Chain A
């Protein structure tokens, strides 16, 4: 018998194994879970953005039929505030950290801050009883703007944070950059706002807690992208109980986009209340609570200067950013506008002098933390906007300016001088060329010119991006380096059962990314077993090895590689068992396509199923070998990965109304090798949609009193189908040298690239009106004002 070549699973557009239950209503999302005796919690939230709580009277609520208990922050002082797990470059930079408690104590600092908790027999009763809680507030002055919050006389949120400053962080070479800008032929300067966004996973967040008094063990079902991390933070930091006393399960998670990475107060108060009351407690946010309390994203105000020569060489970049972090510090908030922003500020360009200074700021607003892209969309928006601004200033085609300044293929690994790990690989011009070809750039420019003569305003916008994925080597990102409070490796266990079926358990977990499918594709190919024979288990701290979870486009590059390495170990052991079975020298055994055979004699072999049976029953194994094919890997990547690409947007602006029509959207992305093109394209589509949404529609707005004016989906403009075009996608493939799969990551790329492609197009369309910059979103009103010289 000879080894028959199998159809490779990697690279194939296999439709997802996750889907059958989701398309038939069989999903198991948090709110679908019902436990015997389960109670329902509702939260009374502050209507004030900043106030002292002078009195809380819960007696009327407690007397309401069906109400089991009402708690306030004072009741929960036996648990600690939520932890901050990432301080900006801790050790080098002072971080003035204030994290939220399960419920506020004494003072509320933003609208939506939780004041009291009602636990009742059903959710209607719990909500009714909120109206029966009497709270007296003494309002305090409010500040919502990050820059204003640092000015003298601004309202102060926390005693340990003078001028509301969380940290002041910087990177790059200040003196060299100051010199480059002072001596430049051309300097362009802007104040660029990256507006606050609300991530809006379609499923809101929540938690269900159960406590078993006999064993003192908790179980928590929660909408989390990182259940092992939640277990660690809640036990070791919030409750002070042994880690094994809590099991955390993420059921089907209805989208995350970063908002579901973090440790939230509802995890703590459901656990606390379940223990106190001896019954399971469920809390699920409604949408307006999600908007008021769960984390927001972006919210930067940046002063930026870009220097260059008249012939298009960029010589310097100076960035000063105020990053609004909200009223408290969310789990990893300080790392987002620092490590994941400042360190990649120069993007795809060789800029000899760059410096970035970031001030993290408290304001009376909801917490800000990672939202899809997390720092990198802000960085890419900034540099891509400024490159276009520079191109317009010197009268050069923006594609040409990009070409002149790209990091070249021979420059990799490339050190950008901003304290980042070296970019792994890239060919930026190839992606740009492909995108320009696909969109028909030269023709479009002619069309644009002709249209202008007819009074029509077409704009073409480019965005060439690079991002940081596959986060991250622990020694770099961790406490000795960037200040992340632990490691950032990922785990995988692979077992081949007696029947030859393969079970993978992983610390990564999907919430839409299709990891069950892609991970099975990796195992099928590497182990040479049918794709259908591989099961991927995840999302439950019981039964999976500790892992850091899914975010930062890390699951293929880090989680996938952990699986790859466990499979390699399985193959090594299988070869030794096969040698024993065949009475051959292990060094002479080859493993291919699911069979181990003697080199040069492919008919002398054993299938993986035969080897697995031998390994499982343990009747005859090599001297000293343990039974079973079971291997675990904790994979710590040697570097991050750096996907890149070029996106092109084509818009037409109606000069009478200011309305922007997005006519075409072309994206060329390079995420290294592609495991499942169907899934990668889907990730890119969704990412692009979120970036377009930022450019054209979405903005979280607080008024000067700290009221969230965009507090529901009625006011916050998440785009519907008719507000977006179809996307034209292509890719280049530059494998990553960082991991054996050659993958880079695709989850965030679309969002990182797209907002600036659209804004550059809008501003290009408005060039005849003298418009040089326009803040997002480019709503009809904003565009009309720009046309008419009002900002």
Chain B
């Protein structure tokens, strides 16, 4: 067994783990932080993305012991004082999720993307999220959700981007 000292969502943990324990299993099984999901076994799907020292990481590709001493943020730690993060708000407002299984990883990956590029084009959002798979949304509303968050984080008005702002009736009437 190996000792791991980590800070997860602002709380310090010291745990004894098998050296082979994946970070994602450590978070889910040892810390009961089950918001981080597992959708594949080849590091393609991105459902397990968390922030390790502020950078997005697929937590299935990292051993828990490699995270020793790190600051980790999972989806459970993103909202502050009961206030949703703009990304969470954007996904809700723009219907950026359906089954919700990919959503935590998608949001955490988008968080890193917006840290690096606060004003992305749609194409940059799509490329920035290419490590994350969603099977429900076709990504259309995920792109909108990330743009909503980006606009809000830049301090812009987002009222025109809220729920229903761009449903197909609008297209058909030419608005």
Contacts and interface: CB of A to CB of B under 8 A. Distances in A.
Interface string B119-163: 000110111011111111111111100000000000000000011
A15 B126 contact: no
A661 interface: no
A680 B33 CA distance: 32
A726 B100 contact: no
B133 A202 contact: yes
Nearest to B107: A23
B14 to A, nearest CB: 20
> Which of A20, A22, A689 lies at the interface centre, i.e. has the most chain B CB atoms within 10 A of its CB?
A22
Contacts of B34: 25, 27, 29, 31-32
B39 A287 contact: yes
A26 B34 CA distance: 8
A668 B171 CA distance: 10
Contact of B171 (A13, A22, A689, A729): A729
A254 interface: yes
Contacts of A652: none
Given A201-B135, A713-B42, A729-B168, A685 B140 contact: yes
Band of interface residues on B: 35 or more
Contacts of A713: 40, 42, 44-45, 133
B interface: dominant SS: loop
A726 B143 contact: yes
Contacts of A678: 95, 163-164, 167
A773 B113 CA distance: 41
A127 B127 CA distance: 35
B42 A722 contact: no
> Which of A20, A34, A434, A685 lies at the interface centre, i.e. has the most chain B CB atoms within 10 A of its CB?
A685
Given A23-B107, A511-B99, A722-B126, A677 B167 contact: yes
Contacts of B162: 15
B84 A23 contact: yes
Interface in A1-28: 12-16, 18-20, 22-27
Given A253-B99, A286-B41, A686-B138, A24 B84 contact: yes
Interface in B3-51: 18, 20-21, 28, 32-42, 44-45, 47
A18 B74 CA distance: 20
Nearest to B163: A15
Contacts of B138: 685-690, 724, 727, 750
B65 interface: no
Nearest to A203: B101
Nearest to B88: A23
A712 interface: yes
B163 A13 contact: yes
Contact of B102 (A202, A253, A257): A202
Band of interface residues on A: 35 or more
B64 interface: no
Given A25-B75, A685-B141, A727-B140, A254 B101 contact: yes
Contacts of A668: 172
A720 B132 contact: yes
Contacts of B102: 202
Nearest to A27: B100
A682 B39 contact: no
A682 B162 CA distance: 15
Contacts of A24: 35, 75-76, 78-79, 84, 88
A724 B100 CA distance: 20
A12 B169 CA distance: 11
A535 interface: no
Given A255-B101, A713-B45, A202 B141 contact: no
B83 to A, nearest CB: 11
A287 B107 contact: no
A769 interface: no
B56 interface: no
B35 A686 contact: no
Given A288-B41, A512-B100, A721 B107 contact: no
Contact of A255 (B35, B136, B142, B163): B136
A750 B138 CA distance: 10
Given A677-B167, A713-B45, A729-B168, A23 B129 contact: no
B34 to A, nearest CB: 4
Interface in B47-104: 47, 74-76, 78-79, 84, 88, 91-93, 95, 97-104
17 contacts: A15-B95, A23-B104, A24-B76, A29-B34, A29-B37, A200-B135, A202-B39, A203-B37, A287-B41, A514-B98, A678-B95, A685-B137, A713-B133, A714-B42, A721-B125, A722-B127, A731-B169
Interface of B: 18, 20-21, 28, 32-42, 44-45, 47, 74-76, 78-79, 84, 88, 91-93, 95, 97-104, 107, 122-123, 125-127, 129-143, 162-164, 167-169, 171-172
Among all A-B residue pairs, the 5 with the closest Cβ atoms: A25-B35, A13-B164, A254-B101, A689-B138, A22-B100
Given A23-B97, A679-B95, A686-B98, 5 more contacts: A14-B164, A677-B169, A682-B98, A684-B168, A722-B127
